[in-house]
Amino acid sequence: MAYDIVIPKLGMTMTHGKITEWVKKEGDRVEENQIVFVMETEKVSYEVEALASGFLHILAGPGTKAAVGEAVGRLAETEEELARLQAETPGIDGAAEAVTATASAGKSQASAAGAGQGPRKKLKASPAAKKMAEAHRLDLSRVTGTGPGGRIVREDVEKALAAKTATAETAVPVEAPEGEVIAGKRVKTSIPLEGMRLTIAEHMEQSLKVSAQLTTMGEIDMGEMIRIRKAYLAREQEIGVRISFTDIIVFLLARALKDVPIMNSSLIGDQIIVWEDINIGVAVAYDKGEYDSGLIVPVVRNADRKSLVEISRTISGLTERARSLQLMPDDVGGGTFTLTNVGVFGRGWSMGTPIINQPEAAILQTGMIVERAVVKDGQVVARPMMPVSLTFDHRILDGAPVGRFLNRLRDLMGDMALMFI
């Protein structure tokens, strides 16, 4: 009896999954609980284990998007049963080879086109001309044929070699570049746009396409926040957690969103939906290699109902799972507002234009806290200032509610006693 390998349902909102890699090959012996393939949902990657033992027959190759519960492979109990399955339902080997061949051909053609050469045409040359060109390592595509129908003959090759020799005697020697060259530029490496990077690219592009995004910028005096955090750090053992600035900002954001509820909304169809739940996504970035990084947004659900300590523990747990690639779809779904803190990556005062995490109405970016000269009580003084950039969907929000929201957040950060009013 053969067992189906299906796309598992990882969360309430999950409907499909995409296969990114088969860890086991066609015909391999797979033991129960071994990882058999890797799939990704809209936002997370997940390793799928076999629920039984057997010999693997693959039905869907990498890149295939399948519905939850759909069979993408089968496990045969015996090699005889495997042979029968392979005969009844052909696997992906032939298709995979065709896809690979097509991709390789496309890449070669793209490289040639990028170098301004275009796809190669079939050359007509006499056997003698081909033999002489091969012996002298001459590219026949650069030789003009004078034979019938433009056929390259021996005399054409001799003339080309003579011209090449004359040029070489007068030209300054130039060392040929090593490796692949595209449009005159040497390639250091080539990184496929796939997996999480492809998902990020698609989401960012789609977000800009479907909404009218505008960014307003400013800065907030963080003197009170620094004082409060120092007090929390001094009582870290008693509190049980190490409170971060992100924890405090999420705590205050939830209160500001409650005071200006239109900021906690989405445009769905022709309706602006104002959400009762305040679920704040906290962007988490991490390195995946020398040339790649990951970005994912786990969600602190019902942040307005959580204490500061509860928010801190939630963010800590989500961040740890995000960086160890152990998040589930429900961990990253259902957000109503997003915070992205780029201050941990900078070394100075800077602002940006974050892109909205659809279908939310806005996203707040915070930067590095830097001492700057500001006017306070008529005097120029140095104050710890944090830049903020709020991108909002102008289809939903105008300047007035955005201004009220930022003013409320600025007031709360300047005097946290206001949150009790």
Quick: pLDDT tens for 154-202.
Answer: 788 888 888 776 665 555 555 556 678 888 788 888 888 877 788 888 8
For the domain covering 195-420, report its CATH number: 3.30.559.10
Condensed to tens digits (0 to 9), the pLDDT of residues 256-287 reads 999 999 999 999 999 999 999 999 999 998 77
Confidence (pLDDT) at 115: 43
Which residue type does 331 have? Answer: D
CA-CA distance, 384 to 380, in Å (whole number)?
13
Domain 121-172 classification at class level? few secondary structures
Confidence (pLDDT) at 156: 85
Query: Does residue 408 surpass a pLDDT of 70?
Result: yes
Query: Would you please indicate which residues are annotated as catalytic (active-site) residues?
Result: 394, 398
Query: Does residue 364 surpass a pLDDT of 60?
Result: yes
Task: Give the alpha-carbon dihedral of 47, 51, 57, 58, to 10 degrees.
Answer: -30
Query: Does residue 98 surpass a pLDDT of 50?
Result: no
Architecture, CATH, for domain 3-89: Beta Barrel (2.40)
Confidence (pLDDT) at 317: 95
Q: Which has the closest alpha carbon to 210: 44, 316, 22, 355?
A: 355
CA angle 60, 65, 71 (to 5 degrees): 45
Confidence (pLDDT) at 92: 67
Residue ranges per structural domain of the chain: 3-89, 121-172, 195-420
Confidence (pLDDT) at 168: 56
